[in-house]
Amino acid sequence: MSSSNTFEQQQPEIPTFPSFEFWRQIGLIAGGTLLSINMLASSVAAGSLVGLFISLRNLPDVRQIRNFLPAETSYIYDIKGKLFVGIHGEANRKVVAPDQISPNLKRAVLAIEDSYFYNHPGIDPGGVGRAALVNWMAGSVQEGGSTITMQLVKNLFLTKRRAFTRKIAEAVLAIRLEQVISKNQILDMYLNQVYWGHNNYGVETAARTYFNKSAANLTLGESAMMAGLIQAPEKFSPFVNMDLAKQQQKLVLERMLKLRWITRQEHDNAINQKIKLGKISSFQPSTHPYVSNAVTQELIQKFGHDAVLQGGMRVQTTVDANLQRIAEATIKKWHKTLKGQGLHKNQIALVAIDPRTQFVKALVGGVDSKASEFNRVTQALRQPGSAFKPFVYYTAFAGGKFTPETTVLDTPVTYPDNDTQYSPRNYDNTFKGAMPIRTALALSRNVPAVKLGQAVGIKKVIEASRTLGITSPMEAVTSLPLGAIAVTPLEIASAYATFASYGWRSPPTLIARVTDSNGNVLLDNTPKPRLVLDPWASAAVVDVMQTAVTNGTGRGAIIGRPVAGKTGTTSSENDIWFIGSVPQLTTAIWIGRDDNKQLARGATGGGMVTPIWRDFMQQALKDVPIEKFKPPSKFSRPKPVVKKKPK
């Protein structure tokens, strides 16, 4: 039998105390009289009883409560369910089912807030009478006398302004509410709705904050301390004043003992229990801010700001927390190393993607998320330099006239470019003559890439780049094959991952699945790969990029398993890259400065980025089996479509 069922089947019995009941009846009579006088005086002051009647006719329809959805915290997790962060507005709340709330807490709250809850119709005349007597003697509103039902309708339907007319509205709505839903529903809704301090709304987030446990597992001592917070949560908070919190706890336990809801032994044990506090969790930063911020921004674009901060979403990201931790530690380590080498103000971005799914497994948008939340993986547009060349070579291979062994000439050439002349140069300012395409890419020769771009057509290169997911602006300029565009690291990593999967592609994503708090699916990004590239041409690109690692500019990325990759260095040496793949993971790393100034004379992707890539991948692939790239055994090229002339 669950704890909730036990509580619901054995509701607290309301004992009979003659002396208490005697004064309660006195309160009913005297207080009721005083309440009537105050109501009359208040109505006359407002205009007339007619005005009061009209205002009560305009009260909210409590039947709306059946469709009520409280503001609830959304949670972001890694691919395996590890929590990254909870995101919310003012209300940090996680709604839980009745059987996930300890019966200890239910009894403690009833004892101190509304011990006649199961015996009144929504209002407790004796409680109201006592409050009216106190307020009349004080000359102002000092005590509410509200039942739990009245507190709930106040929180859901009314303003917080303290006035006699509002108390009347509370009473009317409370009676109506108890005709619409059951007592147990009211209590459970109240416990999930009420404010417990430190931006915690509802029992679950409060229990997690105060005692680092779920509401279902609260002891009697912890429950009594939490129940004692309701009247003034921040004042009685054990984080603020443990002595006051203990006094409130004692008050609740004594009330429970007086009502005979607990025994003397249970009372004493609860008083003597050592309270172990948790920590204030509202507005806590994410364990992985770059990931959480990128996910949050995407969710807001899809669902809207309020839905994300108040909708209680459960967001499963594609990120692996272990890989993310390795990535962040690697970037931190190498940033420090580069600073020691004189590269001040350097920024590093890393993104790792599974080529089989296009799921982002790790993302680091900069060297310090606290100093700058700007995400260089998803937001920074930087020139890829020679890392763009594989797009040119793919276009050539896909056209059917070139293979990795086709000879190209690394010789001087000049092209008209708008109203000027453009003469491409190699990084070392030399020319090496005739060579196979494989060698040209491996050694990252510029002139052959430009010549090949002209041979296949720059517009064809742009078309292939779009197919690979490059959405950034591109102009059909002669220097495009050398990376004369600006892309994000995420774009280029996704494109290389498509090569590694031999042309199969799903949209890259950080989000695997989103549900609401009840498990209803709101977004499902299960991969639905499509073959977007020529498989033979993709295999050829992967093949020559393996040569670039074993015998070319990417030799620093050798890790004892097959790697296909390419370095990138801009002519001004302000953007340097390495993007490399194994069959199970593609990782792109970029280094540059936010002010777009030169990193250092002689800085290259092969010399400076490959060691970082190698460091990350060796850790990330520690327990991953070594696999070779396995191109499809059979390639079929689509036949051209011949349009028949209409008869």
Alpha carbon distance, N-terminus to C-terminus of the chain: 78
Cβ neighbours of 278 (radius 10 Å): 15
d(CA 100, CA 84): 23
d(CA 28, CA 14): 18
Burial of 314 (0-12, 13-18, 19+ CB in 10 A): middle
Picking from 590, 33, 553, the residue whose alpha carbon sits closest to that of residue 349 is 590
CB 228 within 8 A of CB 243: no
Buried b (16+ CB within 10 A) or exposed e, 560-574: ebbbbbbbbbbbebb
CB 575 within 8 A of CB 555: no
Rounded to whole angstroms, what are the CA distances from 142 to 107, 360, 395, 466?
A: 26, 57, 80, 69
Residue 310, phi then psi, degrees to nearest 5: -130, -5
Rounded to whole angstroms, what are the CA distances from 621 to 357, 515, 587, 645?
A: 17, 31, 12, 56
CB 489 within 8 A of CB 590: yes
CB 284 within 8 A of CB 83: no
d(CA 13, CA 588): 67
Buried b (16+ CB within 10 A) or exposed e, 532-556: bbbbbbbbbbbbbbbbbbeebbbeb
Rounded to whole angstroms, what are the CA distances from 275 to 4, 157, 210, 244, 647?
A: 24, 36, 10, 14, 89
Percent of the chain as helix, strand, coil, to the nearest 5: 45, 15, 40
* Residues with a known catalytic role: 113, 386
d(CA 504, CA 534): 9
Could you tell me the two tokens for 553? 């500019």
Could you tell me the two tokens for 560? 């004892």
CB 77 within 8 A of CB 84: yes
Report the C-alpha dihedral over residues 329, 331, 334, 336, rounded to 10 degrees: -80
CB 390 within 8 A of CB 499: yes
Residue 347, phi then psi, degrees to nearest 5: -120, 145
d(CA 381, CA 293): 18
d(CA 579, CA 557): 10
3-state secondary structure at position 138: helix
| Residue whose token pair is 């801009």 | 570
3-state secondary structure at position 417: strand
